[in-house]
A and B are shown apart, each in its own frame.
Chain A
Amino acid sequence: MKILVGYTHTSGGADALRLGTRLAQALDAALEITMVVTGDAGGLRHVRTTAAGWLDEAKASVPSGVAVETSLEFADSAASGILAASRRLGTTLIVVGGRERLGTVANALLHASRVPVAVAPPGHADADPVPLRRVTAAVGLREGAEDVMRAGVLAASRIGAEFRVMSLVSLDARQIGSAAEAEALAAAHADRVRAFVAQVAPDGVQPAVDVPTGRRIEDAVRHADWDPGDLVVVGSSRLASRGRIFLGSTAGKMLRELTVPLVIVPRDTEPTFDDEESTP
């Protein structure tokens, strides 16, 4: 398995590289660090040499034991360059930094990629590099939730991590006022999630189920229990065309609040994490 890191010589790039390294270590995968050079000045020798120097620095910072290659890609936009490099190199996971309210690059990727995209939270490079030890599938009880569950289960087993299922509840969205009402709703929702999990989870998998509540989705995310070793898996919006990813509104709200990495998987695909592109 190969993981592509969309790298820039910025703090966002460092965040992406750190997450890529953690994922590569956890999944026993190889890293492809790609820097996309955009704009007219990409034709200048000095710019290319500088970019190549940054890539060398990035490569040198990856701990030994992780296989790593670097490449420069030239494209009209960073996102299109990352997607082109991913196709060319046959990588099955793309990792980017999510600085600056997600950033235009991550945003574009999160609405177009055919392979899962992992987003590193801001400041990830400075966080404790604990091993990934829990995978959280964040699901709604709607169509597509099974895909996310399967992807989460697969990732957890590949990593050798714990697996849990999370379903966020916004009280405002359901016009819930009192605390008692909220508790009752959360309990009822948790029951539905458990029933759903029992129905669709692969044999022998009995994940923990967590139903955090909050006035808004953002509050629910903040109230949830997070661990530095967490990795969150979310599905694509139903707006996504088949086989592509499309960041839905709930996932987008999660992404803004999360302090742990998040992976978004394409719609209607069987996740493989293997070298061939996952097939619809």
Chain B
Amino acid sequence: MSDATAHKPTGTDEQAGGISKKGLSAGSVGLIGAIVIGISCIAPAYTFTAAIGPTASAVGLQVPAIILVGFIPMLLVAFGYRELNRSMPDSGTSFTWATRAFGPWIGWLGGWGLIAATILVLSNLAGVAVDFLYLLIAQITGNAGIADLAGNPFINVVTCLAFMAAATAISYRDMQTTQRLQYLLVGFQILVLVVFAVAAFVHVANGTGFDPTPIALEWFNPFAVDSFSAVAAGLSLSIFIFWGWDVTLTMNEETEGSATTPGRAATLTVLIIVGLYLLLSVALISFAGVGTGEYGLGNESIQENVFFHLSHLVLGPFAWLVSLAVLSSSAASLQSTFVSPARTLLAMGHYGAISPKFARVSPRFFTPGYATIVSAVVASAFYAVMRFVSENVLWDTITALGMMICLYYGITAFASVWYFRRTFTRSLRNFVFQLLCPGIGGVILMVLFFTTIIDSMDPAYGSGSSLFGLGLVFVLGMVVLGVGVVLMIVQYARRPAFFRGETLAVAAED
């Protein structure tokens, strides 16, 4: 391992002697724990309820096929992450690895892509939690008016900030309840989703489905989709529905199994999620079909929240369980997503790519306290301001995050290819996991990155708003990227040591 040279010599040799053998495992997150955090971050209940409808509109019955196709680049990239983690376990993930492979500038941008995407999505998760909270209360009390409270911008923002504050406090204190809470929320979420799928199948079998559609192998065939653009649209959606598994790579650096556990957790997380999505999509399509009828998945008026609209048909009196599952899904994700930007900021501060304040560790809770607070403040301010300024800007920014995700996943995949350039010829295993998989995955993500940029120039993209004749999603995506470039140049002026490669040197595995 060439890793030792990558770190500033801030520690002393004594520390190693002081760490008890037993303690080595105590400070770590196990495989199951990491998978739980990974699933929590992806938030399958919330993601799926919003994504299944638009996907069905785009590709018809071939939703399972598109899920499989979208899963491929994720799995390929996850293999690259796994290899990089094995060689250089580091909570800075994309930032650290891209810096090691391609140097400080690309590394900084990779880190920016992750930070921008995760911080902005925090505001989205909190916003969704607000909607579902009032929806759930309305459903339980039978008073439909309560759901409209979420539409009041003041109530909405105040509730949202309360969610954000709670999640920040939990992340900052790293309460021991956190993991147990995550197990509970994620377990509940998966249980409800599986029950929902099984209940849907039972209805289909009893002939009480809304639009019973016989399951066919064709559903899994991506070539049965009408057009390539439909496949591409489906792929773009799949970036969102799988995004989040990479949080597992930030969990351990210095513990037993830190070279293997996080990577294994990442691949297992992606596999569990694809299984869950396939089950749900088959269940929903066979139950409701993809038509535009009242409860068809192609009906645009139910697509915002398919689970909610179908829940009373599928689960009857237990319909509220689904809203509770979606609420716990977004709340759990709000909390687990905090881990990502905080730890990347911590690494960037540690290596001098940004202010060393970000490397501050809370002396009481041993968390990246400063980075956590800054992430929370930025996400809260963004949501509060945008909710009043323009909801279109708010949601189009979230859509624009797809570009950031493609960018940092893609950069990381290529970092694997380049960093292992001297070792991938050594064995077939290396060739497949260090070059072939991440290489193909990276190319797919880069293609998606550029096609999304081009598509989003169309004013009709996203909310349909435009600025200077260009789609708002495009403009916002460029603004987020541009802010990153400006900040990078400012940091270059202030902290040239990092940009000269003095704190984190370019290297290759050999």
Contacts and interface: CB of A to CB of B under 8 A. Distances in A.
A5 interface: no
Nearest to A38: B366
B254 to A, nearest CB: 5
Main secondary structure on B side of the interface with A: loop
B203 interface: no
A68 interface: no
A44 B343 contact: yes
B364 A74 contact: no
B376 interface: no
B366 A39 contact: yes
A55 B14 CA distance: 10
Interface string A40-79: 1111111111111111100000000000001111111100
Interface string A70-94: 1111111100000011001000000
B91 A44 contact: yes
Main secondary structure on A side of the interface with B: helix
B7 A74 contact: no
A279 interface: no
Interface string A230-271: 000000000000000000000000000000000000000000
B176 A77 contact: yes
Given A46-B350, A52-B14, A72 B23 contact: yes
B143 interface: no
B367 A39 contact: yes
Given A43-B252, A46-B350, A37 B363 contact: no
A55 B174 CA distance: 21
Contacts of B24: 74
Interface string B18-38: 111011101111000000000
B363 A9 contact: yes
B127 interface: no
B9 to A, nearest CB: 9
Contact of A46 (B15, B29, B176, B346): B346
A47 B366 contact: yes
Interface in B1-54: 7, 10-12, 14-15, 18-20, 22-24, 26-29
Interface string B348-370: 00100000000101011111100
A47 B23 CA distance: 14
B365 A51 contact: no
B368 A8 contact: no
B15 A72 contact: yes
A43 B256 CA distance: 10
B91 A8 contact: no
A88 B91 CA distance: 31
B255 interface: yes
B367 A48 contact: no
A38 B176 contact: yes
Given A72-B19, A75-B23, A42 B366 contact: yes
A74 B347 contact: no
B398 interface: no
Question: 5 tightest CB-CB pairs across the interface, nearest first?
Answer: A42-B27, A39-B174, A52-B15, A74-B27, A9-B363
Interface of A: 8-10, 13, 37-56, 70-77, 84-85, 88
Given A41-B368, A45-B90, A52-B12, 15 more contacts: A38-B176, A38-B366, A40-B251, A41-B361, A43-B251, A44-B343, A46-B359, A49-B10, A50-B10, A51-B361, A70-B14, A70-B18, A74-B26, A74-B27, A88-B20
21 contacts: A38-B174, A42-B26, A43-B29, A43-B252, A44-B253, A45-B91, A45-B253, A46-B347, A48-B19, A48-B254, A49-B10, A51-B15, A52-B12, A55-B15, A70-B14, A71-B18, A73-B23, A74-B20, A74-B27, A76-B176, A84-B22
